[in-house]
Amino acid sequence: MVDSVSRPTHGLRDWLLQRFTAVYLGCFLLYLMVHFYNQPQHDYQQWHDWIRHPAMTIASAAFILALLVHGWVGMRDVVLDYANTLRARLLLLSLIALVFIGCGLWALQILLLSAR
């Protein structure tokens, strides 16, 4: 991905990825809103059972993946717009990539552990 600092050739692919992930994120978000509107009170057991349901685990894992892709394209666009030196871009992009990879692995670990 460091290539995209100097080579703006992935534009269309990233643009499409951002749109497709946006649709999935929007649908999942809508489902979350409906779910919590209907069932505002959860106790631990309900909460845990809901998340470890296989369909929910898969849908959540896909959500996290889509979120990371969507967020990466968005944050990268922001950095490339406002940071204009190669050094600043590399620094910020590496930092953001680190946060994204860390959050992604962390979230997947949570899902896998709760699905046991």
Binding site for another protein (CB under 8 A): 6-8, 19, 22-23, 26, 29, 43-45, 47-48, 51, 71, 74-75, 78, 81-82, 84, 86, 96, 99, 102-103, 106-107, 110, 113-114
Cβ contact 52:115 at 8 Å: yes
Minimum CB separation of residue 78 from another protein in Å reads 6
Name the residue nearer to another protein (CB basis): 41 or 55: 41
In this complex, which beta carbon is closest to another protein, that of residue 38 or of residue 45? 45
3-class SS letters over 40-102: CCCCHHHHHHHHHCHHHHHHHHHHHHHHHHHHHHHHHHHHHHHCCCHHHHHHHHHHHHHHHHH
Q: Tell me the closest approach of the beta carbon of residue 22 to another protein, in angstroms.
A: 6
Minimum CB separation of residue 30 from another protein in Å reads 8
Cβ pair 67, 25 in contact under 8 A = yes
